[in-house]
Amino acid sequence: MTDPVRILGVCGSLRAGSYNLMALKAAMELAPEGVEMRLAPSIGDIPLFNEDVEREGMPAPVKSFREALGWAEAVLFVSPEYNHSIPGVLKNAIDWASRGADQPFADKAAAVMGASPGGMGSSRMQLHLRHVGVMLDLHFVNKPEVMIGSAPSKFADGRLTDEPTRVFVGKLVTALRDLAVRLR
């Protein structure tokens, strides 16, 4: 039997009632067999990137995030878009993690999805994250694209309730598992 694919879920929103965090939790529920999924430690504790701070050593929240990435062989990003792009808090965490000789993203499988109250469902953030992934040497799943628009109608009582969306989310985690296995 092959080892389960270790997937780290990273949420780009710090909001307590975040739709994206609910979507990430749904992905964890819907993960197929052969997957072990964990939630990344909060990226909200990571200070703003500053090379002067970096020179004094990686701050503890950065170390925790990098350790979690080190455990993972695949990463699932679940994030809103802010002003048509990657939320600063997520980009900041990625920038910190990308420092140092040991590259915690390099050659790993990745997938992205996101939710928004509007119709676009984070699509522009997703494209920008894929672009950043080129520099990080991440290998993104191409399809399915999971863009959860009109979020207030798809979540209730703290969870993703829309059945067709749940099916897509499960398919995305399955595609991520399969890509990670191919990369082994």
Q: Do residues 27 and 36 make contact, with C-beta atoms less than 8 angstroms apart?
A: no
The half-sphere exposure of 59 on its side-chain side, counting CA atoms within 13 A, is 16
Nearest CB to ligand FMN, comparing residues 108 and 166: 166
Q: Which range in 64-72, 101-109, 116-124, 160-168 contacts ligand FMN by CB under 6 A?
A: 116-124
Cβ pair 13, 45 in contact under 8 A = no
Out of 65, 75, 110, 116, name the contact with ligand FMN by CB under 6 A. 116
Range in contact with ligand FMN (rule: CB under 6 A) among 31-39, 53-61, 78-86, 168-176: 78-86
User: Using the rule CB under 6 A, which residue among 10, 30, 40, 81 binds ligand FMN?
Assistant: 81
Name all contacts of 47-50 with Cβ < 8 Å and 24+ positions apart.
Answer: 48/92, 49/92, 49/95, 49/96
Q: Which residue stretch of 90-98, 115-123, 158-166, 169-177 sits at the interface with ligand FMN (rule: CB under 6 A)? A: 115-123
Question: Binding to ligand FMN by residue 77, rule CB under 6 A?
Answer: no
> DSSP string of 43-59?
GGGSPPP-HHHHHT---
| Contact between residue 26 and residue 166 where contact means Cβ atoms under 8 Å apart | yes
List, in order, residues 6 or more apart from 175 with CB less than 8 Å away: 111, 141, 143, 144
Asked if 2 touches ligand FMN (CB under 6 A), the answer is no
| Per-residue binding letters, 142-181, with ligand FMN (x by CB under 6 A) | ----------------------------------------
- Which residues make up the interface to ligand FMN (CB under 6 A)? 13, 15, 18-20, 80-84, 116-118, 120
